[in-house]
Amino acid sequence: MNAIILSAAFGVVMMLCSFLIKNKSNFRHIASVALLILLIGNIADTYGYTFFAIDTHGMLQFNRFGLLFNSIAIGSTLLYVLLTGKEIENAGMHVAEYFTLILFVLCGVTLLSAYNNLLTLFLGIEIMSIPLYILTGSDKRNMKSNEAALKYFLMGSFSTGLMLMGIALTYGGTGTFSLEVVRNAPNMYKGLVSFLEILGLLFLLVSMAFKVSAAPFHFWTPDVYDGAPSVFTSFMATIVKAAGFIAFIKLCAVRMAETESVVDWKMIYAIIIVATLLVGNITAVFQQSVKRMLAYSSIAQAGFMLFTLISLNDMAYEGILLYSAAYSLATIGIFAVLVKMKDYTFDGYNGLAKTQPVLAATNTVFLLSLSGIPLTAGFFAKYYMLAAVVKTGNYTWLVITGVLFAAVSVYYYFRVIQAMYFKEGNAETTTIVPSFKYGLIALAAIIILLGIFPTLLLRWLYF
Amino acid sequence: MNNIAYLVPLFPLLGFLINGLFRKSLSKGTIGIIGCGTILLSFIVSLILFFDVKANGGVVVNYFNFIDVASFQIPFAFQIDQLSVIFLLIITGIGFLIHLYSTSYMHDESSEHFGRYFAYLNLFVFSMLLLIMGANYVIMFIGWEGVGLCSYLLIGYWFKNINYTNAAKKAFVMNRIGDLGFLLAVFWLLSKLGTANYVDVFEQASTGLSSTDVTAITLLLFVGAMGKSAQIPLYTWLPDAMAGPTPVSALIHAATMVTAGIYMIARSNVLYSLSPLTQDVVAVIGLATAILSATIALFQNDIKKVLAYSTVSQLGFMFLALGVGAYTTGVFHVMTHAFFKALMFLGAGSVIHAMGGEQDITKMGGLVKKLPITAWTFVIGVLAISGFPFTSGFVSKDEILLAVLAHSPVLFWFAVFAAILTAAYMFRLMMLVFFGGFRGTHEQEHHLHESPSAMTIPLIILGVLSLIGGFVQLPHVFGGEDFFNQFLAPIVPAVTHEGAEAATLEYYLLGGTIVILVIVYVVTKKLFAVDRFDGVYTGFKKVLADKWYIDELYNAVIVNPLDKLAGFLKNVVEKSGIDGIVNGVGKFVNYASRQLRLLQSGQVGNYILFMVLSIAVLFLVFWNQEIIVQFLQKIF
Amino acid sequence: MSEIPLTHILFVSTALFFIGMYGLFTRRNMITMLMAVELMLNSVNINFVAFNKYLFPENLDGVFFTIFIITIAAAEAAVAIAIIINLYRSHHSIDVEDATEMKW
């Protein structure tokens, strides 16, 4: 509860700052302090020190898993603001509002990690999405940014409509909005699991799949990620996607698992996973722009994260946490470097190793983590995902498909490394301050540390 | 004893690392001191171990679990018992002398290559020690491979000469063929008994293995020995291995590495005693090798080649001894052979050094005047190998002959023939090199000088050992005790000759030897202590001088067809087939990507349409799940 | 007044939902697309209220949810108009086919 209320409050504070404080560069310091307080508040909440005791009538439920995910999300946002805060100032004119919107998105994220009621799910998704529509279109002079905002809005509201229809149908089928359905309550539909409910759950599934950019509902991702200013793409591609996943998994674990006796949802998950992996990896191979390639690659990573749905055991939960952390850190790092480049195409990276060796080296670490090469956090993340599925005993063909597509992904990630190190060129970047390099090195060090000792992160789940 | 056993291989390993890593920055003197000093320290520790074993018996020292998989364990352990400690003394002792000799022989090299040489030599000693000290077949195999590697590295030491590197390659490949046999034997053993430790294997050998098992295992182990110890058919690498520096030939191809096969069979004597068929095979092949290589040695013109074929021949003798069950005799001959063969190789090195690099004996002669120490120590070696009474070679060879006679008279007469040939070619060599008139050029004559003391001292020490080394095993009739057999008795059963028949046989052998030696001396002095010798042979002698054309036969039947097959595999299968498939996959993915990205058309309406269509498809799949699952199961 | 069966109301709301969906992927005018989105959201409102009144008359959950939907729809419409105005300023057209610079 701390995080939800504190993030909304700090959002309002930042909004007030926009006309009370004149110096532009103070905003990111205020935002960093706010995020730090938010993080501390969340950690306090994890160990039981809630500052706000509000009775939500069972609509919100705070468990260890959700609170740890909150900490990861807030921590990643803090790293993100520290690393690329300067670039946010260059994204547009209204700097304080951008930080406000980021804090509001965080509010939605923290709401999503704790929801226990379909109403709170809807609220969380909407609170998370609407500021993102604005952030996508924040570079008003860039035509691509405007177009991306429009497409995001249109398709986002379409998916909201689908989600609402789904919720309506489930309500008609069960009579309650709560996530855990008590099936023998007096005013329940006597047929236990009704057709209405299952249809509703299908719509809900489609809408959540849209949010996490699973194929075949991924069409917004390349355009939006490509069009939005790179700083905000970095935020969207990591924390928001991870939050979407947490919501998705909670929904599936509770609601759809209940109807397992009647229908087999795993086949649908399998179809979606295969389609996502296929579209994400294969289309990324032939891209000319690194930013668009990263957009498609985030679809592919989403495909990997969907493996959790097939297994849904303890290892899967640990896996999704680790995957969120690893993927967020690596993507924040890559986009931090991307923002500094003048040319976003692959040729624009030629020869970066000679002009900026630190950037090239840390970029390599990030790319290796995304490909899942051992010694980086990404390897263990993928391992946990696949091991959880193998543990259940079925769906080995899915695991093999996942591994094959991970091999395809190595190609397009390594194209960047090849351009940086092995091709001759003049890679131009904007000015880089030493603290930026230290930040990148620290981020790379965290990734390698998590790659050697993944339990450093995971044991907080149990302590 | 447990505490210091690991020091023996550790010193040479440290020497290898220091000399190898820092060879560019150390001076030649330092490199020499490190190289020799480590072996000397190992020798001292080996002496301590020897006295310990003499007093307290053998022990197995476990260090750590080398391989530990499920129920399958191979510990990294050393077995220090009577057999291994004898070999330890031989290797470290003679190794030290040869290292000392090398500091002077190789001093023309630059310090970087000097360091490389000593690093390889130390690595070789380390591997050999590992081979000897291992307590199970797997550790032995590690050393086995290590000495093969070092042999390759040292034969090809002057790597700029393509002939030398080809010789090194040949040695390595032939060794490898033998190693395959060794590995198969170890696998067979592991699968039948589940362990490779000597102690366990020999205990369970009679009960756990059927007779086909034992025969197969021992035959396969012997294949390994064939490669490592240069028996027929895998012996042709040893004469070519003379391309390496002479101290290398002395150490590796005379005294130590080639005896690894003997050690292995002596160690596995329990297994070999259970398989009479293999023993016959070993004996026959040993004898055939002894005779074949002795005939070739008779007509060679390169001083080192003569000694190489002589080594092959003597190894044949050792295998003959093992084949008739006289294991201790075989080991004893290893020891004495190490003394006099190393002596002769080092002497040859001294001669080559004095002749300024010339190795052709048709151009030598009468060197006894200018190189007295070399010459007279060489003579001692020749006498030892020919079996001059009471030299070390006499005692060991006599024991072999007696053991063979007890087994089979036919083999005995063939063995005697081989012994006569041995004396013949050795005396020929001695006469041609040291006596008669000098047949070389004038500059060579002026260049002749005795070698420095670093080279002559080892010669003297080895000469003394060749003379008195036999006294540890002198037969009873001549007043000696068989210390050697008694020492080895716990590990290796001995063949004893007691009784009056043994005594008369000894006297017959003694008499026969003296007669033969006198005849050989007279004949060779007349034929070879001459002023002119052209060394050109015709007719049957040419066949022998050309090594019975075995190398050419191998080339035609094995090497060339394999080359052609490899060429075919590379050009057709690899380039078109496998590369084609791999590149094809990449091209396919690229093509698929180009087509798939067209799905993203840029128009929002299209996107939403696709989404709606997917919802419809998902719904259909969902509704007809059972039918679809049944359909898929029918296909797969 | 005889009761209108639930199915009639559900039919209306479903029809509205699909009409809205059809409008979303067929129309080229951005404002019209916005109207279609609003149509979809409101059809869901009808659904909620109908389920609440006919199936579970003791609760008021559905109606409350409807209030939330209306609020959020309003917020979304505000943002949408802002985006469309921004797009118009740069592209000088409200045809969605003119904003297809990012493809493939």
Within the 6-35 window of chain C, which residues sit less than 8 Å (CB to CB) from chain B?
21, 24-28, 33
Would you call A399 an interface residue with chain C, using a CB distance cutoff of 8 Å?
no
Instruction: List b or e across B200-225, with b for residues whose CB sees 16 or more CB atoms inside 10 angstroms.
Output: ebeeebeebbeeebbbbbbbbbbbbb
Question: Which residues of chain C neighbour A151 with C-beta distances below 8 Å?
Answer: 99
Q: Do B618 and A271 touch (CB under 8 A)?
A: yes
Question: B76 vs chain A: nearest CA distance in angstroms?
Answer: 29
User: What pLDDT, on a 0 to 100 scale, did the predictor assign at position A272?
Assistant: 93
Closest chain C CA to residue A147:
C99
**Number of inter-chain CB pairs under 8 A, A vs C:** 122
pLDDT of residue B501: 67
Q: Find chain B residues with C-beta within 8 A of A394's C-beta.
A: none
- For residue A147, the chain C residues in CB contact (below 8 A) are 87, 91, 99-102
| CB-based contact A126 C30, cutoff 8 Å | no
What's the rounded Cα separation, in Å, for the pair B289 and B308?
A: 13
Name which of C24, C33, C103 is nearest B601 (Cβ-Cβ).
Answer: C103
Ordered by start, the domain boundaries in chain A are 264-463
Q: For C51, which of A143, A158, A168 is closest by C-beta distance?
A: A168
Query: For chain B, which residues lie within 8 Å of any Cβ of chain C, measuring from their own Cβ?
Result: 597-598, 600-606, 608-609, 612
Among C18, C25, C94, most B C-beta atoms within 10 A, so best to mutate, is C25
Q: Using CB atoms within 10 A of its CB, is residue B605 exposed (0-12), middle (13-18) or buried (19+)?
A: middle
* Closest approach of A285 to chain B, Cα-based (Å): 6
In this complex, which of A217, A282, A285 lies closest to B611 when CB atoms are compared? Answer: A217
Q: How far is CA A366 from CA A256, A360, A372, A377, B360, in A?
A: 35, 10, 10, 9, 67
From the list B589, B615, B625, which residue is nearest A285 (CB)?
B589
Per-residue pLDDT, B478? 65
- Listed by number, the residues of chain B in 550-589 with a beta carbon closer than 8 Å to a beta carbon of chain A are 586, 589
* B602–A263 C-beta distance less than 8 A: no
Quick check: C83 and A137 CB within 8 A? yes
Give chain A's residues under pLDDT 50: 187-188
Cα atoms found within 13 Å of the Cα of residue B200, Cβ hemisphere only = 14
Residues belonging to chain A with any Cβ–Cβ distance to chain B shorter than 8 Å: 150-151, 154-155, 158, 162, 202-203, 206, 210, 216-217, 219-220, 222-223, 263-264, 267-268, 271, 278-279, 282-287, 408, 411
- Name the residue among B593, B614, B619 with its Cβ closest to that of A216: B614
pTM for this one?
0.67
- For all residues of chain C together, what is the average pLDDT? 90
C100 touches chain B (CB under 8 A): yes
B601 vs C101: CB contact, 8 Å cut-off? no
B609: chain C residues, CB-CB within 8 Å: 25
The answer to whether B379 and B430 are in contact (CB under 8 A) is yes
Query: Letter for the amino acid at C41?
Result: L
Q: Domain map of chain C by residue range?
A: 28-95
Contact B604 A263 (CB under 8 A): no
Quickly count: other Cβ atoms within 10 Å of residue A186's Cβ: 6
CA distance A433 to A435: 6
Residue from B596, B608, B619 to probe the interface with C (highest C Cβ count within 10 Å): B608
- Chain C: closest CA distance from residue B594 (Å): 9
Chain B residue with minimum CA distance to A201: B619
Residue C83: pLDDT over 90: yes
Residues whose CB is less than 8 angstroms from the CB of residue A285 and which lie 6 or more positions away in sequence, other chains included: A408, A411, A412, B589, B590, B592, B593
- With a cut of 50, which residues of chain B have pLDDT below it? none
**Given an 8 Å threshold on Cβ–Cβ distance, is A154 in contact with B604?**
yes
What confidence score (pLDDT) does residue B291 get? 92
Within 8 A of B598 by CB-CB distance, chain C residues are 104
Residues A394, A384: Cα–Cα separation, whole Å: 16
Chain B residues with CB under 8 Å of C103 CB are 600-602
Identity of the residue in B598, B601, B612 whose CB atom sits nearest the CB atom of C25: B612
Q: A56-65, pLDDT tens digit by residue?
A: 788 888 888 8
Q: Which residues of A touch B595 (CB under 8 A)?
A: none
Q: Do C99 and A226 touch (CB under 8 A)?
A: no
Q: Which residues of B501-512 are buried (b: 16+ CB within 10 A; e: fewer)?
A: eeeebbeebbee
Contact by Cβ (8 Å): A336, A423: no
Q: What is the pLDDT of residues C7-22, one digit of tens each?
A: 899 999 999 999 999 9
Comparing CB atoms, the residue among B598, B604, B606 nearest residue C104 is B598
Q: How many CB pairs under 8 A join A and B?
A: 73
**Best to test chain B binding among A276, A282, A396 (most B CBs inside 10 Å):** A282
Q: Using H for helix, E for strand and C for coil, what is the string for B77-94? A: EEEECHHHHHHHHHHHHH
Collapsing DSSP to helix, strand or coil, B62 comes out as strand
Hey, is the C-beta of B590 within 8 angstroms of any chain A C-beta? yes
pLDDT more than 70, % of chain B: 97
Report the pLDDT value the prediction gives residue A90, as an integer from 0 to 100. 80
Q: What is the dihedral of CA A250, A252, A258, A263, to 10 degrees?
A: 180
Chain B: partners with 3+ C-beta pairs within 8 Å: A, C
Whether residue A77 contacts residue A103, with contact meaning beta carbons closer than 8 Å, is answered with no
The architecture in CATH of the region C28-95 reads Orthogonal Bundle (1.10)
Mutate to test the interface with C, among B599, B604, B615 (most CBs of C within 10 A): B604
Q: For residue B594, give how far its alpha carbon lies from the nearest alpha carbon of chain A (Å).
A: 6
- Distance between CA atoms of residues A143 and B369, nearest Å: 102
* Residue A304 DSSP symbol: H
Q: Measured between beta carbons, which residues in chain C are less than 8 angstroms from residue A227?
A: 102
Cα B459 to its chain centre, rounded Å, is 23
Using an 8 Å CB-CB cutoff, list chain C residues near A169: 47
Q: What is the spatial distance between Cα A83 and Cα B306, in angstroms, rounded to a whole number?
A: 77
Distance, in Å, from the CA atom of A352 to the CA atom of B320, rounded to the nearest integer, reads 70
From B611's Cα to the closest Cα of chain C, the distance in A is 10
Residues C50/C6, Cβ–Cβ less than 8 Å: yes
pLDDT of residue B394: 86
Q: Which residue of A has its CA nearest to B607?
A: A219
Q: Which residues of B touch A411 (CB under 8 A)?
A: 586, 589
Min CA distance, A434 vs chain C (Å)? Answer: 35
Largest CA distance in chain C: 58
Q: DSSP secondary-structure letter at B391?
A: S
Check CB contact under 8 Å for B605 and C104: no
The domain spans of chain B are 1-135, 323-537, 546-599, 603-636
